[in-house]
């Protein structure tokens, strides 16, 4: 599949999705948002891919937000489908069975920070900058930022970032729990790949069940969430990986997953 604004590089067993609009700091225009949805849907269906990295082209930006030039002269009804499309892509990312790691190589602002929050985890370069600067445009976050940020860092700090619109450093993002790890910029991709390969070696069906249980359960009441977990737990018996993992433990050998 060919993309105009993305590079999708499959390096079995992982894939790297790079937003490739460096002249505008990888800002997300509507076309790019559509391509991201298509790319993740394609990667979900590709059995050669077990983990995905999402990053931005160039050294300056992961994604500097939605493409502001597309905002001019628009009306509220015209912008509804734009926001809906962004949410749809984020939901594709969260509901697909494969883990996605954001390798944040620079500015992750507005829709860029929001895209990263739809990934399973965030690894950042020490030079990266984060923020929800929409307020400075007379706007609010529209790709889940008013919701996912609070779920990751707590409502108080999320309010500070969304109301204030200020950028924070990678170190601060780490301190508030927005990113999992911070690496020197030159090592970011190597370290992220190393981790993605570790995830790719895990039994993929169990990993999918863990992702679904955590993503679907998180917003439910504890009773309902535990029901989701019960279903996903029991589903693990529907895949040969479990038989293999248990046999390997009992026979004191390394498990040989991915026979499917
Ligand atoms: N949209 C369009 N163009 C952009 C964007 C953007 N978000 N960000 C940067 N660019 C362009 C600049 O206009 C500039 O273009 P040109 O060279 O033609 O002048 C080029 O990229 C380089 O940028 P700068 O010269 O500004 O670079 P600086 O190093 O001086 O500054 C910054 C970097 C701080 C990142 C600055 O560019 C900036 O503030 N960018 C805007 C950040 C922002 O406000 N982002 C939020 C946008 S709103 C949003 O994301 C809402 C999400 C809605 C949901 C989306 C659903 C899909």
> Is there a cis peptide before residue 17, judged by omega within 30 degrees of 0?
no
86 lines ligand 1 (CB under 6 A): yes
Pocket test for ligand 1, best of 21, 23, 25 (most atoms within 8 A of CB): 25
For the stretch 51-89, pLDDT in tens is: 999 999 999 999 999 999 999 999 999 999 999 999 999
Cβ–Cβ < 8 Å for 28, 19: yes
| pLDDT value at 247 more than 70 | yes
Residue 91: the pLDDT is 97
143 lines ligand 1 (CB under 6 A): yes
d(CA 195, CA 190): 9
d(CA 119, CA 149): 12
- The alpha carbon of 28 and the centre of ligand 1 are apart by a number of angstroms equal to 10
Give, using CA atoms, the residue closest to atom 10 of ligand 1: 24
Looking at domain 6-200, its CATH class is alpha beta
- The alpha carbon of 75 and the centre of ligand 1 are apart by a number of angstroms equal to 21
For the stretch 194-211, pLDDT in tens is: 999 999 999 999 999 999
Sign of the torsion angle spanned by Cα atoms 20, 21, 23, 25:
negative
For the stretch 211-244, pLDDT in tens is: 999 999 999 999 999 999 999 999 999 999 999 9
- The alpha carbon of 64 and the centre of ligand 1 are apart by a number of angstroms equal to 5
206 lines ligand 1 (CB under 6 A): no
CATH topology for 204-250 is: Lyase 2-enoyl-coa Hydratase; Chain  A, domain 2 (1.10.12)
Residue 258: the pLDDT is 77
Give, using CA atoms, the residue closest to atom 15 of ligand 1: 24
Q: Which residues have a catalytic role annotated?
A: 114, 134
- The alpha carbon of 35 and the centre of ligand 1 are apart by a number of angstroms equal to 20
Cβ–Cβ < 8 Å for 65, 28: yes
133 lines ligand 1 (CB under 6 A): yes
- The alpha carbon of 24 and the centre of ligand 1 are apart by a number of angstroms equal to 6
The structural domains of the chain, with segments of one domain joined by +, span 6-200, 204-250
Give, using CA atoms, the residue closest to atom 22 of ligand 1: 24
d(CA 160, CA 13): 39
142 lines ligand 1 (CB under 6 A): yes
| pLDDT value at 259 more than 70 | no
Mean pLDDT (the chain) is: 97
């Amino acid at each position: 599949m060919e993309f105009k604004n993305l590079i999708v590089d499959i390096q079995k067993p992982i894939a790297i999705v790079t937003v490739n609009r460096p002249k505008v700091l990888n800002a997300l225009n509507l076309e790019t948002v559509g391509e991201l949805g298509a790319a993740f849907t394609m990667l979900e269906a590709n059995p050669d891919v077990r983990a995905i990295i999402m990053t931005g082209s160039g050294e300056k930006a992961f994604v500097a937000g939605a493409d502001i030039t597309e905002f001019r002269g628009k009306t509220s009804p015209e912008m509804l489908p734009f926001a809906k499309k962004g949410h749809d892509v984020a939901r594709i990312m969260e509901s697909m069975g494969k883990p996605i790691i954001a390798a944040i190589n620079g500015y992750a602002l507005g829709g860029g920070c929001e895209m990263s929050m739809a990934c399973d985890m965030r690894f950042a370069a020490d030079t990266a900058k984060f923020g929800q600067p929409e307020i400075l445009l007379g706007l609010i976050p529209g790709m889940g930022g008013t919701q996912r940020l609070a779920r990751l860092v707590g409502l108080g700090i999320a309010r500070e970032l969304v109301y204030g619109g200020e950028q924070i450093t990678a170190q601060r993002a780490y301190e508030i729990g927005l990113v999992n790890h911070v690496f020197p910029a030159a090592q970011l991709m190597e370290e992220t790949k190393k981790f993605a390969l570790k995830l790719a070696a895990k039994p993929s069906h169990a990993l999918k069940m863990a992702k679904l249980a955590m993503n679907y359960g998180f917003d439910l009441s504890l009773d309902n969430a535990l029901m989701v977990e019960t279903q996903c737990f029991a589903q693990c018996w529907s895949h040969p990986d479990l038989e293999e993992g248990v046999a390997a433990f009992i026979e004191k050998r390394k498990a040989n997953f991915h026979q499917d």
